[in-house]
Amino acid sequence: MKRGRVFSGARPTGRQHLGNYLGAIQNYVALQEDYECVYCVVDLHALTTLTETEKLKGNTYEMVLDWLAAGMDPETSIIFVQSHVPQVTELHIILSMVTPMGWLTRLPTFKEKVRLQPDNVNYGLLGYPVLMAADITLYKADTVPVGEDQAPHLEFTREIVRRFNHHFGPTLIEPQIKLTHYPRVMGLDRVNKMSKSLNNHIELAFSPEVIEQRVMTMVTDPQRRYRSDPGRPEVCNVFAFHGFFSAQQVEDIESQCRSAEIGCVDCKRSLARNLAASLAPFRQRRAELARDENLVWDVLSDGANRATPIAQETLEEVKIKIGLP
């Protein structure tokens, strides 16, 4: 018997990187054991920041191929595209009527977007959290695995649910946040979160050669200037990655770095090797899956077919509770 229903969404960002894997995908895969999982490519959310919409389709394909290769299972989980189940837009409008404007303008995520794209502060951007609340509540999810940055949106969803249920009677489920245990995965530059747009990332599907090239550019302990200087693993991003990918060797690497027995170049070479070895089964599986060019689209169409009746049922219930004629 499964414990409950998980819902999570990700914007179609194309090929996934280590930050996506450690922060989200790995967790999505693990949750499939105990929960009924619904995983959504939130293409409508992506429209709030995108100007180059011609990338949406390709990005969706590449991201979902990575998901499948990483072990997200379309047999047990529902994997679908947000816009393929348009009931969410109807629920979005309905929820917007119980959303005080101030709750939206006060959100730190909104303020940040206004700062980042002052020339494109669109209405959709303001409503972003309402659409997210619609995603989660439409599927009656009780558990939402997300990173810390999404915590305000989850709290917002809970408030909307309480408000809706207070007005119209118990209908929607108040979801619990399930914070991912992994710390922020920093990029190759060591100071910014790993992200494709900053080009400080390592894609899961990179070849061993490209992995090595990229790892060699990683910024290590800035105070270690000479090969003979002792290193400080606790501030070194390469060491943080050894923690994820070099299981048995981590203690040796730590002491050899502190005593300057190994230099940063040696340390990076061994990380590149371990990383390539860890990712090899993933790359192979990805290549196998890619042979069937319809696979991703078939998975997504099956996902939408399974998501639709759940969405439809919730929406009907909502409309009845509100009293829409």
User: Which residue from 5, 11, 17, 140 is in contact with ligand TRP, where contact means CB under 6 A?
Assistant: 11
User: Which residue from 6, 31, 41, 42 is in contact with ligand TRP, where contact means CB under 6 A?
Assistant: 42
CA 78 to chain CA centroid, nearest Å: 16
Query: Parallel, antiparallel, or unpaired: how do β-strands 36-41 and 176-179 relate?
Result: unpaired
Q: Between 88 and 188, whose beta carbon lies closer to ligand TRP? A: 88
Cβ neighbors of 295 (< 8 A, separation 6 or more) are 65, 68, 289
Find the shortest distance in angstroms from Cβ 271 to ligand TRP: 28
- Considering only residues 88 through 147, tell me which ones interact with ligand TRP, judged by CB under 6 A: 132, 135-136, 144, 146
The Cα–Cα gap between 94 and 83 comes to 17
| Span from 2-10, 72-80, 228-236, 241-249 in contact with ligand TRP (CB under 6 A) | 2-10
Q: Which of 155, 176, 120, 203 is nearest to 5 (CA)?
A: 176
- Considering only residues 47 through 66, tell me which ones interact with ligand TRP, judged by CB under 6 A: none
Find the shortest distance in angstroms from Cβ 82 to ligand TRP: 8
> How many CB atoms lie under 10 A from the CB of residue 306?
15
Q: Which of 303, 192, 207 is nearest to 237 (CA)?
A: 192
Q: Between 25 and 136, whose beta carbon lies closer to ligand TRP? A: 136
- Token pair, residue 212, equals 């090595």
Find the shortest distance in angstroms from Cβ 27 to ligand TRP: 12
157 by DSSP, 3-state: which? helix
Q: Is 44 in the site for ligand TRP (CB under 6 A)?
A: no
Q: Is 201 in the site for ligand TRP (CB under 6 A)?
A: no
Q: Which residues are identified as catalytic? A: 113, 193, 196
Q: At what angle do helices 295-322 and 87-96 cross, to 10 degrees?
A: 40
Find the shortest distance in angstroms from Cβ 96 to ligand TRP: 15
Q: Between 68 and 154, whose beta carbon lies closer to ligand TRP? A: 154
CA 243 to chain CA centroid, nearest Å: 21
Strand partners, 6: 37, 143
Site of interaction with ligand TRP (CB under 6 A): 7-11, 42, 45, 132, 135-136, 144, 146, 150, 153
